[in-house]
Amino acid sequence: MKQLAIAFLLFAAPAEARVLKVCADPNNLPFSNEQEEGFENKIVRIVADELHADIQYVWHAQRRGNVRQTLNAGECDVIPGVASSLDMLATTRPYYRSTYVTVVRDGPLDGLSTFDDPRLSKLKIGVQLIGDDGSNTPPAHALTSRGLVANVRGYTIYGDYESMTPQSPIVDAVAHGDLDIAYVWGPTAGYFAKREPVKLSLAPVPVADGPMLPMVFDISMGVRRDDVALRRELDTALAKRVFDIRAVLTSYGVPLLDTP
């Protein structure tokens, strides 16, 4: 009888919930924030639901060194929204592919998307820069190689971290007329353009500016290289919920190219 009672208690005890530890930026809309309002937050929720897991966030600014300081230090299990080609970790199947785009006010510059348009020499141009040292994004390299430097203004992707939308200033500048055109990573441009008081037009740039300067990137989730089991689970979940994920991306204005 005592054995039966013990067996009943063991059977009735709730299983401990699985926890998926996720490293994400607490202030980086449209990607993520501490209020879980970014599209990466929504996609992580979809994947966690598929894995029957609870989410535990480890908040850390997504700047240089964050992979070493978080994922590879064992602080979390997965980082969403990393380039599929990143070699510091293992990456899942891509769950979206996007591109750099031009952002202009609705009007005569609509459709200007190349780096060779002669009008560029007379325009105020904005580009995104990466890092405190001002490293260049692919469009910035493309413009520099054409001698279009004097009329270019750089906007760091980290922006003013005191702001709730640190990546918005480059799109704001186009809306306010401080820039004629900006070359912006598609998800950032698509999200903030929809929130401006004036109509802005977006156009994808060419897929590459020569063989060494791609403008289109696949995006994955990253795990530690030795975490093969989790990567496989994430791959399965991403494939199974591909339409739900695409719906989230579309709702945030992410320019999507052919689905990987």
Q: Residue 118 domain-assigned?
A: yes
Q: Residue 72 domain-assigned?
A: yes
pLDDT at 245: 98
Backbone angles phi, psi at 122, to 5 degrees: -115, 5
Residues 15, 90, single domain; the answer is: yes
* Residues 71-104: tens digit of each pLDDT: 989 999 999 999 999 989 999 999 999 999 999 9
pLDDT at 15: 59
* Residues 147-168: tens digit of each pLDDT: 999 999 999 988 888 999 999 9
Residues 46, 7, single domain; the answer is: yes
> H or E stretch including 193?
helix 186-193
Least confident of 20-34, 130-144, 152-166, 178-192: 130-144
Task: Give the total number of structural domains in the chain.
Answer: 2
* Residues 182-223: tens digit of each pLDDT: 999 999 999 999 999 999 999 999 999 988 899 999 999 999
Q: CA–CA separation, 100 vs 15, rounded Å?
A: 46
Rg of the chain over Cα atoms, rounded to whole angstroms, equals 21
- Structural domain containing residue 59: 2-96+217-251
Closest-CA residue to 131 (of 160, 157, 161): 157
Q: Residue 131 domain-assigned?
A: yes
pLDDT at 259: 60
Give CA separation, 238 vs 56, 62, 97, 142, 178, in Å. 19, 22, 14, 34, 40
Residue 181 burial by Cβ neighbours in a 10 Å radius (0-12, 13-18, 19+): buried
Residues 85, 108, single domain; the answer is: no
Dihedral angle computed from the Cα positions of residues 87, 92, 95 and 98, in that order, rounded to the nearest 10 degrees: 10
Residues 65, 104, single domain; the answer is: no
Q: Residue 260 domain-assigned?
A: no
Percent of the chain's residues with pLDDT above 70 = 92
Q: What pTM was estimated for this model as a whole?
A: 0.90
Q: Residue 209 domain-assigned?
A: no
Residues 129, 81, single domain; the answer is: no
Q: Which residue has the higher pLDDT, 132 or 34?
A: 34
Task: Give the SS3 label for residue 32.
Answer: strand
pLDDT reading at 8 higher than 70: no
- What confidence category does residue 65 fall into, taking pLDDT thresholds of 50, 70 and 90? confident
pLDDT reading at 41 higher than 60: yes
CATH number of the domain that residue 54 is part of: 3.40.190.10
Amino acid, single-letter form, for residue 172? D
* Residues 42-62: tens digit of each pLDDT: 999 999 999 999 999 999 988
Q: Residue 73 domain-assigned?
A: yes
pLDDT reading at 3 higher than 90: no
pLDDT reading at 131 higher than 70: no
Percent of the chain's residues with pLDDT above 90 = 77
